[in-house]
């Protein structure tokens, strides 16, 4: 696409999974825009679900029919989040979407689930002095259940119909149709 990533905008670098500068004016503006919607979304009462549904459609890049996120909810940009139909996320959900976060149909998330596509260099010099950040896509298949307090780390893929036990920290890919749990999360049994 680009021969030289110096010709890319910081947003293009971010979306491509390359190191980018989060303090870029365009990225700051995009984060500000989504927060202007998240604030009211997180404050609207239960009797105003029609208004929240409209706001959620503005927040997410793709929202399948019947999908719902209980407020409060937090994300970086929103446009990098794609959820299938009948997705449900309970209270205090966090999706750091500096890279693509793709979630299938009929996925359920307990309260305080964190899906994190954002990361930093493990090299201390790069991390502390470059001012750059990095993102790795997260993919969650269809009919997955993430228990309360699950943390999904950058670059992870979770297969269809997997169940992740409450409080687990998922640091590597999880195959389809398994129950996995722990820190780090590991397969406990095949479903």
Active site (catalytic) residues: 120
Which token pair is 175? 């195959």
Whether the Cβ atoms of residue 114 and residue 151 lie closer than 8 Å to each other: yes
**Neighbour order of strands in the sheet with 93-96:** 73-75, 93-96, 114-116, 151-152, 169-170
Report helix angle 49-59 to 25-43, nearest 10. Answer: 160
Angle at 171 between CA 142 and CA 153, to 5 degrees: 70
Cα separation values, 23 from 13, 77, 177, Å: 13, 14, 41
């Amino acid at each position: 696409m680009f021969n030289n990533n110096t010709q890319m905008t910081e947003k293009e670098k971010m979306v491509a999974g390359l190191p980018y500068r989060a303090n870029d004016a365009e990225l700051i503006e995009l984060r500000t825009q989504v927060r202007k919607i998240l604030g009211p979304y997180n404050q609207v009462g239960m009797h105003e679900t029609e208004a929240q549904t409209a706001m959620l459609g503005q927040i997410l890049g793709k929202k399948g029919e019947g999908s719902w996120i209980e407020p409060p909810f937090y994300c970086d940009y929103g446009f990098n989040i794609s959820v299938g139909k009948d997705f449900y996320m309970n209270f205090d959900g966090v999706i750091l979407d500096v890279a693509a976060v793709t979630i299938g149909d009929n996925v359920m998330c307990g309260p305080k689930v964190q899906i994190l596509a954002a990361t930093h260099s493990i090299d201390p010099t790069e991390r502390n002095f470059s001012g750059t950040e990095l993102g790795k896509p997260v993919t969650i298949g269809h009919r997955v259940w993430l228990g309360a307090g699950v943390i999904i780390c950058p670059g992870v893929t979770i297969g269809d119909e997997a169940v992740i036990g409450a409080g687990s920290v998922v640091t590597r890919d999880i195959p389809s149709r398994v129950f996995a749990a722990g820190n780090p999360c590991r397969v406990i049994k095949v479903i």
